[in-house]
Amino acid sequence: MRTPLHALLGIVILATGARATPADELLPADRPIEAAVDHYVDAKLTKEGVHAAADADDATLVRRLTLDLQGRIPTDAEVRAFVLSTEADKRARLVDRLMASPGFVRHQVDTTDAMLMAGSRGSLNDYLSRAVRENRPWDQVFREVMQGNDSDPARKGSSDFLKARARDTDRLTSDVSSVFFGVNISCAKCHDHPKVRDWKQEHYYGMKSFLDRTFDSDNFVAERDFGAVKFKTTEGEERKARFMFLTGRVVDVPGIEEPSKEAKQEEKKRLEEARKKKEPPAPPKFSARGKLVEIALEPTERAFFAKAIVNRLWNRVFGVGLVMPLDQMHSENPPSHPELLQWLARDTIDHQYDLHRLIRGLVLSRAYARTSRWESAERPDPRLFATASVRPLTPFQLAASMWVASTDPASLPEVAKRDELDRKLEEFAGRGRSLASTIARPGEDYQIGASEALLMSNSDRLKDMLADGGDRLVARMAKMSDRREKIELAVRNVLSRAPDEEEISLFGEYLARYEDRPAEGCRQLVWALLTSAEFRFNY
């Protein structure tokens, strides 16, 4: 057994990838998040002798923020309002406004769902929409999802995370470790991890022990009162696994001995009764899964949990995590900015795992607001955050944005009528969901492939968007006589910026070829803009 002191040291090394900086050497805890981000990012840039790229212009920034916070592009009026505003704190006001809208909840739910349910067919939307709307602390979400109690109305649907994995506890072990702790230990299933000395078979089977009593009982998640995991070492020795957390912390758990006949029968009865009533089986007297949650959140062990979510949210808004890959947080894969990660994790814990606060801080940093363009010779390492990254839109972001982009702006409620406009925009997001599902299954690591290009090029799914009647952009353009004005309108509406002179003349010549079929020309121009890389990415 380790002494507590050793254990503590172990945690620190494991969870940071290097010895942690003592708390009093970190930037003070009362700094705003954005200030801490820029402090550490700038320090590293100075150290590496790299100058950061210039700030993105206002039009790019409002597009980026609207995509990141609401999962759609801004309307032309929203872009103009932001660009023309002379308020000193206009960016913070925009962020707060975007975060207070229903679109923020929808987009947070979608991205969180993609993160939690990656690779499965299930969805946690039901549960998450409630949890995100109330901004439930992340540790509470973790607890609720791991408990999976649907009978409490506030937690309805929370069992879907476990349900999708209850038939395969190896998968459950791997997913829980990766999603919530940023650690992929499945390599250590068959042997001690070949490359990473942190991960031994004991860690894998230790984690699995907590989860191996979980099972699927007629589509309900159930948990046994007993059970211990055995494994074979590479030397062929059979061992009983200890209940061990990633930090090496071992706990005693009842029920590891082979249960008595009576106990087994009692359990069978418990399950049969539940099955008859079509109810979830009663929870066990002692929940090993619950114990894992409890330990993972203890002050001495919670670094994994806090750092994993910080890293994932950082990755979401910056396009590259502080630790990459996201599920390889271990000593041989150090963060790009270890102290920053440590500071942000501490801040997140100190503020009760308030993720909305964390997101707000990240997007208010200077580092977030740089241009993605790097004109001089060698582009700096993306992990220095000297430029903004170029990120593909998720299927939901893309589909919602296509509807916004293809809508006649004059048909939208004016910006001053915020609630009305938001309602309309949410309607577009809803309309986009079926298109999104044909683009790709939402997940964190999907890629753009030829089937998407074929869909965009040939399917009739874009037909309604590009129609030349009603509230469609093409309809408005077709009615306009001035070619320059048409182009202005299209580029502003689709690409969220003004066209440059070269585009005006290029598109002008393109439209000229359609003099006899003006609506068709407008339709094809809008198509080309909608399918261009500039529209497809958040830059």
Partner 1 sequence: MSETRRERFCGSPEHALDRRRFLGTLAAGAAAFAADMTVLEVLKQPVIAQELKSQQKRVILLWLAGGSSQLETWDPKPGASTGGPFRAIPTSVPGIHISELMPKMAQRMEHTTIIRSLNTKNGDHGGGARLMMRGRMDDPSLRYPDLGAVLARELGQAHSAVPDYVSFYSATEGRDFAPDTAGFLGSRYAPMELTKTLMPENIRRPEGLSELDHAQRAELRELMSKRFARGRVSTDLGAHNEAYQRVRGLMASEKLFDLAQEPQKIRDEYGPTQFGEQALIARRLAEAGVPFVRVGRAWWDSHGQNFETHQEMVPELDHVMATLLDDLKRRGMLDSTLVITLAEFGRTPSINPSLGRDHFASAWSATLSGCGIKGGSVYGKTDALGQSVVDGEVGAAELFATIYKALGINPQKNYRVGSRPVPLTEPGTEPIETVLA
Which residues sit at the interface with partner 1, rule CB under 8 A? 170-171, 174-175, 178, 184, 186-187, 325, 327, 372-375, 379, 389-392, 446-455, 457-460, 463, 502, 506, 509-510, 513, 520, 524-525, 527-529, 531-534, 536-537, 539
The least distance separating partner 1 from the CB of residue 374, rounded to whole angstroms, comes to: 6
* Dist CA 535 CA 539 (whole Å): 9
Give me 89's structure tokens. Answer: 């704190």
Q: Is 235 or 378 the residue whose CB approaches partner 1 more closely?
A: 378
- Letter for the amino acid at 243? F
The least distance separating partner 1 from the CB of residue 463, rounded to whole angstroms, comes to: 8
Q: What 3-state DSSP class applies to 418?
A: helix
Q: Is 226 or 539 the residue whose CB approaches partner 1 more closely?
A: 539
- Letter for the amino acid at 188? A
The least distance separating partner 1 from the CB of residue 395, rounded to whole angstroms, comes to: 13
User: Which residues, at least 6 apart from 211, have a Cβ–Cβ distance to it below 8 Å?
Assistant: 169, 172, 173, 176, 288, 289, 292
Q: Is 77 or 187 the residue whose CB approaches partner 1 more closely?
A: 187
Total Cβ atoms within 10 A of residue 414: 12
The least distance separating partner 1 from the CB of residue 450, rounded to whole angstroms, comes to: 5
Q: Is 203 or 391 the residue whose CB approaches partner 1 more closely?
A: 391
Cis peptide before 153 (omega within 30 of 0): no
The least distance separating partner 1 from the CB of residue 284, rounded to whole angstroms, comes to: 26
Q: Is 216 or 354 the residue whose CB approaches partner 1 more closely?
A: 216
* Dist CA 214 CA 211 (whole Å): 6
Q: Is 348 or 394 the residue whose CB approaches partner 1 more closely?
A: 394
The tally of CA atoms less than 13 A away on the side-chain side of residue 263 is 12
The least distance separating partner 1 from the CB of residue 102, rounded to whole angstroms, comes to: 29
Give me 145's structure tokens. Answer: 């999802």
Total Cβ atoms within 10 A of residue 450: 8
Given a contact cutoff of 8 angstroms between Cβ atoms, the answer to whether 503 and 484 are in contact is no
Q: Is 102 or 382 the residue whose CB approaches partner 1 more closely?
A: 382
| DSSP state letter for 52 | P
Total Cβ atoms within 10 A of residue 301: 21
The least distance separating partner 1 from the CB of residue 97, rounded to whole angstroms, comes to: 28
